[in-house]
Amino acid sequence: MVQNRLIYLDNLRVFLTLMVVAFHLAITYGFNIGWYFYDLSDDMLTKGILTYFVLVNQAFFMSLFFGIAGFFTPISYDRKGSISFLKDRFLRLGIPLLLFVFLVNPVIRYVYHIGTSKSFIEYIIDEISRDPIGFIKHAAPGPMWFLEALLIFSLCYALIRCLMQAQIIPIHHRFPKDNIILLFVITLSFLNFIIRIWSPIENQFLFLRLGHFVPYIGYFISGTIAYRSGWLSFLNESQIKKWFRISVVCILFFPILLYIGGAFDGQMQLFFGGWHWQSLVYSFWEPFVCIGISLWLLSTFRSKYNKSNRLTRFMADHAYAVYFIHAFFTVYITFFFQYSKIPSLLKFFIVSIIVTMTCFLAAYIIRKIPFLRKIF
């Protein structure tokens, strides 16, 4: 049963990986929050479009990533057992995380020193010898926070499996009804708001933005249950259309909410946390967008893209390596495009294509190295 699903889920993971690349490029050109390098447009329309793109994608794509990861976690654990499962997680998640923190991240941060007399070697030596504490402090995982979180989730899952003597989660071999889905969405929404009172979206703890983690945890757990219950075999098209319409309505009306809430007047932070009605609205808006878009994507890829060819197999095989390396090429390619006279929105599309193709080429080379092929 699982084997029949792997093709469309692999294709969906490729799609989400491409969305990650576009997401960070949209931040580069239009949304100043949490990235290495910015080439922000002066055109308010362009900034508005890219900001809207960022907010809509943030509402669903990483939660769906965690949901898919949760789906495959029981499969891996059942096949390998606890010890081999943990070894595999440290190999596949821990080593890339360390490689990025101590190798790729310093190389990316060197972009700030381009144009000075300091070479990369001089920069590294200076950073380590002059301020070793500062070097460690800046050794952040960047977009590899996803691997950090997934490693933590995997450890928690393995611990629960080791301690659990019997199945504690009731398994129903049918997809949840609308009232259960609604309860799930409302629960995530309230927890979103509560967490963001003390930890707004901009805040980080161990490089993790806890203000986003309620749906991440919820979808990871749902993914593990979905595997046991076979939920993906029971997707109901009419039910999915209903939730998809709700998501579309939420997306279409969001600009009005942003306007009323003062986002266009520089008050966007009110949506990101605290005792503000804007934060409450945004905390509810995200889960309602997420559930409809996620179910629609799962249904669409299952019905239309549950097949592979040479290109899709190549992309699926290299998607993880693309995720790992995309920040490097995103930063450096956008850096060298910053002085071009191309309109920012057009530049966003052109650079997206260039970065994506370059990332897959780099991923192909990375996976030619025997040891790295075992990881990526």
Which pLDDT tens digit goes with each residue over 329-343? 999 899 888 888 888
- Averaged pLDDT score across all residues of the chain: 87
Of residues 272, 206, 204, 301, the one with CA closest to residue 54: 272
> Which band of pLDDT confidence, cut at 50, 70 and 90, is reported for residue 4?
very low
Q: At residue 307, what is the residue type?
A: K
Domain boundaries, the chain: 2-375
Quote the pTM value.
0.88
pLDDT at residue number 171: 64
Q: How many CB atoms lie within 10 A of CB 6?
A: 14
In 3D, which of 32, 41, 53 has the Cα closest to residue 289? 53
Average the pLDDT over 73-85 and give the result: 88
In angstroms, the Cα distances linking 191 to 54, 185, 279, 281, 287 are 22, 10, 12, 13, 11
Q: What is the DSSP letter of 208?
A: B
Q: State which of 164-168, 229-233, 296-300 shows the largest mean pLDDT.
A: 296-300
Flag whether pLDDT at 129 surpasses 70. no
In terms of pLDDT, which residue wins out, 168 or 195?
Answer: 195
Tokens representing 271 are: 């949506």
Share of the chain above pLDDT 90, in %: 51
Contact between residue 68 and residue 13 where contact means Cβ atoms under 8 Å apart: yes
The residue type found at 127 is: E
Host H or E run for residue 53: helix 44-89
DSSP 60-122: HHHHHHHHHHHHHHHHHHHHHHHHHHHHHHIIIIIHHHHHIIIIIHHHHHGGGGTTSS--HHH
- Please report, in angstroms and rounded to a whole number, the separation of the first and last CA atoms in the chain: 25
Place 169 in a pLDDT band, splitting at 50, 70 and 90.
low
Task: In whole angstroms, give the CA distance from residue 237 to residue 234.
Answer: 9
Contact 217, 156 (CB under 8 A): no
Cβ-Cβ contacts under 8 Å for 194 (sequence gap 6 or more): none
CA distance linking residue 136 with residue 91, whole number of Å: 22
pLDDT exceeds 90 at position 96: yes
Structure-block tokens of residue 13: 């993971």
